[in-house]
Each structure stands twice: as structure tokens, then as C-alpha cells.
């Protein structure tokens, strides 16, 4: 049987998971592919961790360059994380014409353009299924399975840490800080949780999904990003009373055609699909309790994709962890070795630009509904003053609740607000915050009806 030799760079959680999955299912894969996958060398920063994963010492090195350059190594698997050395290693491998498999969302989202260009220039391919939503095969879905669709909307729960925290806040009425501390103790959340809880990890993944769906590269900087730190148990409870569950969503929506003057200016437009002006963002949102995403709990991920031909689809599974991520890496490895055997690396290029004049709409212009929580003095006329400011801004209120049972002078008020542009909403909230009767920074959460 034909053998293909791989070089692994990184043997932490994911690298160890890939090694172990290959021990378990390598023979199964060989019988399916007709190709045996062999690990020739493993580069690690800390040899002890590789030994803990039971990788034989003779395959371990601390020199990633020797793994990339090793003439036996035909496929390089980058699992070290980070964007500096990882970028160097991936580019070095691609320049040698070696296909690369990576799980590195930060790297792909920030440097995708450059890496795909390197792969094309050197007649090889880059595979990145594991970079978004771990074990859920969402990259293949967007690149291949839904190729006959215009993707009109993606709504994804793509950060397991945040979903775990929100689920426990919802089920136990607990505060964000307490659940985060617990999650850190249990090893679900990193000691430095900002990448997850401030939405950056989800933004990397959302940028990749937006790019694949719309065919122009969307960098993390273009993804409007808000995290879950400021959510209070009262927000979770109030949302529940109104029939909603709060989820951190990665959202990609086609809002309409991109600017036609830009389209006409390009000669390439003749050969490309009409481009969309898209929303690409990450924020906590009220999701109707009846929507399937509201039932995705704990560390699970789910991505709902709407295509104009297929309609609504949903992809659910474990978005992180050694085994789920290893499953995606193995899928990429299978593609890489089959492409090597058949010389078919251009069959599905890593990224197909198709909406060359697409653009990301600034969040200020995006229109949505809102939940707003205010802390106000419990005095006559307070509602009237708030309502006057909203009315002057042309923004409508769909409901007002002042939950009973709050002692003291300051009471919470929950407003549900009709469709309004984000900029107008932020402006009026600044005015409301400046009212002497408003005692704390207003909390604003968008509502995603997902209908």
C-alpha cells in the first residue's frame, strides 16, 4: 500500500489528539483511502508533552525547520498555534510545494490571503477544516457541499467557552465571574480568558466563514466584535421572561447588493457573482427560545447556514477539544493525501474568490432590534423622559418592563426596541445615560429573530 509521510508541528492538546486518533483509526483510514498515513517526525517546544502523548522519542525534535525540510515529509500539519512562528512554518512548507493542514484560526483569519497565494504560487494546497468549530465539518460544507447556493445568512455558536458560561448562567442564575472562575478550575476556560469571552476567537472563525460564503477575504479587524463579560443574571432572566435565550453568535448576513458603482469600475466583475454588502459580526444576542440554536448548550457549537437553494441547514457538534479537532485534521489529511496521489490539489482550492467587490457594512449602518436594560431612579416621569429621547430619535419601543421586587431607589427597566440602525441606537443611549435619573451605563443587547 502507498504510504504518505507527515510532519507534525506541535504536540499539545490537538497534536496529541491527532497522534492518538491516528493510532486508533490509522488502519481504518488506510483501508478507506488505500493510503497509509505515517508520522515521520514531530516538532515540539516541550518534549515532555509529546512523550506524555506517547509519541516515540525517536520521532520528536525541537526544530520545526528540520521537520518542514525533511525530504520524507510530504504533508506538514501545523498545530502549534500563534501567528508568528506558525506563519513562518506554513509559508516555508508551502514554498517547498508541501501541502499544509492547519487548525490555526488566528493564522488563517489574519493571513489567509497571503497563505492561499503562497499555496497557489507553489502548486500546492492549504487545508483548514479544524480552524472553525472543531469537529463540525463546516469548511467543507461551505466550500463544497453548498457550492450551488448563495449563502444568505450564517448564525453560529462558535465559541464553546462562552456557550458553556452562558448555559450555566441561564440554568443556575449564576453571575458571569463566578461561572468563569469555575470554568477555569475545570479546565474549560483558559487562565487568560479574553480571547474567548471578549469574542476574539469567535471573530476569527466568523471572519473565515464570511470569507468562504462571500468570496472576498474578511479579516478579524473587519468583524465587529463584542463579548459576554457585561451580561448580568438579570439580563439572562429578563430575556427568558420575554421568550429568548442569550447566545454569543457569529453572524454573517447578506444585507443587499454591494455598491454598484464599485462593481462597474471593475473589469473582473463580468466573471464573478453579484457581490453582497455583508454584516460580519460577533455579539451576544437574544435568540427566540423556539429557535434550534437556543437549545445548543454547554460547550457545544452549532452553525446555522441558510442557502438560497437549500434553505435552512444546521451543523452541530463539539467545537473544541483534542478529539473533535483531531477528527477535522484527519479529514483534511485524507483530502491532502488523495490530492497528492491524484495531483488534484487545484480541484478544490483553499479559497475561491467569487464576490470580488463584496464589502463589509460598518456596524453603525446595520439595523436590528434591541433589548436595553437601564438602572433608573424609581420616580414619576422617568419613563416619559426616556420615551421622549427615543421618540425624538425616531426609535420605537415595542415593550417596557419594570420587574417588581427591587428594593431601594434604583430599579431596573427593560425596554424592547423596534428596528433601528446601530449608530442611532448608540447615540440615543448616550443621551439616555446622561439623564440624571439614569444611574448606570445602559446595557444594550441585539435581538436576532433568525426568522
Active centre residues (catalytic) = 205
Return the number of the residue (15 or 319) whose C-beta is nearest ligand HSE.
319
Q: Among residue numbers 21 through 80, which ones bind ligand HSE (CB under 6 A)?
A: none
Residues pairing with 261 in the sheet: none
| The three grid cell numbers given for residue 176, joined into one nine-digit string | 458571569
Residues composing the chain:
451
* Interacting residue with ligand HSE among 124, 161, 222, 225 (CB under 6 A): 161
Q: Which is nearer to ligand HSE, 254 or 322 (CB)?
A: 322
| Contact call for residue 319 and ligand HSE (CB under 6 A) | yes
Q: Name which of 421, 407, 423, 411 is nearest 386 in CA terms.
A: 411
- The string of DSSP codes covering 362-427 is PGGG-EEEEEEEEEEE--TTHHHHHHHHHHHTT--EEEEE--S---SSEEEEEEEEEEEEHHHHHH
| Residue 110, H or E segment | helix 105-121
Cell of 395: 426609535
Can you read off the three cell numbers belonging to residue 214? 462571500
The beta-carbon contacts of 398-403 under 8 Å, at least 24 apart in sequence, are 398/369, 399/242, 401/238, 401/241, 401/242, 403/234, 403/238
Asked if 375 and 232 count as a contact pair (C-beta separation under 8 A), the reply is no
78, 196, 235, 332: residue in contact with ligand HSE (rule CB under 6 A):
196
Question: Could you give the 3-state DSSP secondary structure of residue 337?
Answer: helix
For the CB of residue 227, give the shortest distance to ligand HSE in the complex, in Å.
Answer: 12
Nearer to ligand HSE, 187 or 381 (CB): 187
Please list, in sequence order, all residues whose beta carbon lies within 8 angstroms of the beta carbon of residue 210, skipping any fewer than 6 positions away.
154, 218, 223, 252, 278, 280, 360
Kindly state the smallest distance separating residue 246's Cβ from ligand HSE, in Å.
17
Decide whether 162 or 305 has the Cβ nearer to ligand HSE. Answer: 162
Q: Which of 160, 227, 250, 307 contacts ligand HSE by CB under 6 A? A: 160
Q: Going by C-beta distance under 8 Å and a sequence separation of 6 or more, which residues neighbour residue 4?
A: 35, 36, 37, 38, 74, 75, 337, 340, 341
From 258, 285, 287, 320, residue interacting with ligand HSE (rule: CB under 6 A): 320
Alpha carbons 132 and 156: distance in angstroms, whole number: 10
Judged by CB under 6 A, which stretch of 9-17, 156-164, 236-244, 274-282 contacts ligand HSE? 156-164
What secondary structure letter does DSSP report for 321?
A: S
Where helices occur in 322-367 by DSSP H, the ranges are: 322-342
Within positions 95 to 154, which residues make up the interface with ligand HSE, using CB under 6 A?
105
Q: Report the C-alpha gap between 352 and 246 in whole angstroms.
A: 34
Q: Can residue 15 be called a binding residue for ligand HSE (CB under 6 A)?
A: no
State which residue, 26 or 321, has the beta carbon closest to ligand HSE: 321
CB of 196 to ligand HSE, least distance (A): 5
* Out of 13, 74, 159, 279, the residue judged to bind ligand HSE by CB under 6 A: 159
Least separation in angstroms between CB 342 and ligand HSE: 31
Query: Of 199-258, which residues contact ligand HSE (CB under 6 A)?
Result: 201
Q: Which residue has the cell 446595520?
A: 366
Q: How is residue 83 written as a grid cell?
A: 501567528
The region of 11-19, 155-163, 246-254, 417-425 touching ligand HSE under the rule CB under 6 A is 155-163
> For ligand HSE, which is the closer residue by CB, 18 or 337?
18
Nearer to ligand HSE, 228 or 276 (CB): 228
Q: For the CA atoms of the chain, what is the radius of gyration?
A: 24
Residues contacting ligand HSE: total by CB under 6 A: 8
Residue 324 Cβ vs ligand HSE, minimum distance, rounded to whole Å: 9
CB of 195 to ligand HSE, least distance (A): 7
**Per CB under 6 A, which region of 30-38, 143-151, 158-166, 437-445 contacts ligand HSE?**
158-166
**Closest separation in Å from C-beta 92 to ligand HSE:** 24
Q: Name the site residues for ligand HSE (rule: CB under 6 A).
A: 105, 159-161, 196, 201, 319-320
Amino acid at each position: 500500500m502507498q504510504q504518505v509521510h507527515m510532519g507534525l508541528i506541535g504536540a499539545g492538546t490537538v497534536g496529541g489528539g491527532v497522534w492518538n486518533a491516528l493510532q486508533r483509526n490509522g488502519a481504518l483510514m488506510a483501508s478507506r483511502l488505500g493510503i497509509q498515513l505515517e508520522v515521520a517526525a514531530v516538532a515540539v517546544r516541550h518534549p515532555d508533552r509529546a512523550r506524555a502523548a506517547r509519541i516515540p522519542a525517536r520521532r520528536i525534535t525541537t526544530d520545526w525547520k528540520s521537520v518542514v525540510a525533511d525530504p520524507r515529509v510530504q504533508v506538514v500539519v501545523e498545530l502549534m498555534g500563534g501567528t508568528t512562528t506558525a506563519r513562518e512554518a506554513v509559508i516555508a512548507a508551502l514554498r517547498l510545494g508541501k501541502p499544509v493542514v492547519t487548525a490555526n484560526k488566528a493564522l488563517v483569519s489574519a493571513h489567509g490571503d497571503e497563505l492561499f497565494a503562497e499555496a497557489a504560487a507553489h502548486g500546492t494546497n492549504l487545508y483548514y477544516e479544524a480552524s472553525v468549530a472543531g469537529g463540525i465539518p463546516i469548511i467543507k460544507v461551505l466550500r463544497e457541499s453548498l457550492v450551488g447556493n448563495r449563502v444568505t445568512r450564517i448564525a453560529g455558536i462558535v465559541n464553546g467557552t462562552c456557550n458553556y458560561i452562558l448555559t450555566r448562567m441561564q440554568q443556575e442564575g449564576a453571575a458571569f465571574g463566578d461561572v468563569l472562575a469555575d470554568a477555569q478550575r475545570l479546565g474549560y476556560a483558559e487562565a487568560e480568558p479574553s480571547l474567548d469571552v471578549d469574542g476574539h476567537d469567535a471573530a476569527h472563525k466568523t471572519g473565515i466563514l464570511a470569507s468562504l460564503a462571500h468570496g472576498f477575504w474578511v479579516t478579524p479587524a473587519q468583524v465587529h466584535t463584542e463579548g459576554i463579560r457585561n451580561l448580568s443574571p438579570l439580563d439572562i432572566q429578563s430575556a427568558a421572561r420575554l421568550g429568548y435565550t442569550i447566545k454569543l453568535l457569529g453572524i454573517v448576513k447578506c444585507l443587499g447588493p454591494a455598491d454598484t458603482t464599485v462593481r462597474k469600475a471593475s473589469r473582473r466583475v463580468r466573471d464573478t457573482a453579484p457581490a453582497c454588502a455583508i454584516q460580519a459580526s460577533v455579539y451576544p444576542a437574544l435568540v427566540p427560545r423556539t429557535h434550534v440554536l437556543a437549545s445548543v448548550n454547554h460547550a457545544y457549537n452549532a452553525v446555522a447556514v441558510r442557502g438560497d437553494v437549500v434553505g435552512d441547514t444546521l451543523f452541530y457538534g463539539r467545537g473544541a477539544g483534542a478529539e473533535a479537532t483531531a477528527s477535522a485534521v484527519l479529514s483534511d489529511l485524507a483530502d491532502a493525501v488523495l490530492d497528492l496521489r491524484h495531483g488534484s490539489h487545484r480541484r478544490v482550492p483553499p479559497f475561491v474568490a467569487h464576490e470580488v467587490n463584496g464589502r463589509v457594512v460598518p456596524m453603525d449602518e446595520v439595523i436590528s432590534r434591541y433589548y436595553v436594560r437601564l438602572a433608573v431612579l424609581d420616580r414619576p416621569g422617568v419613563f416619559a423622559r426616556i420615551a421622549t429621547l427615543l421618540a425624538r430619535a425616531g426609535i420605537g419601543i415595542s415593550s417596557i418592563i419594570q420587574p417588581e421586587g427591587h428594593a431601594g431607589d434604583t430599579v431596573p427597566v427593560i425596554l424592547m426596541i423596534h428596528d433601528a440602525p446601530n449608530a442611532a441606537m448608540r447615540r440615543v443611549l448616550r443621551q439616555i445615560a446622561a439623564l440624571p435619573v439614569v444611574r448606570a451605563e445602559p446595557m444594550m443587547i441585539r435581538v436576532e429573530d433568525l426568522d
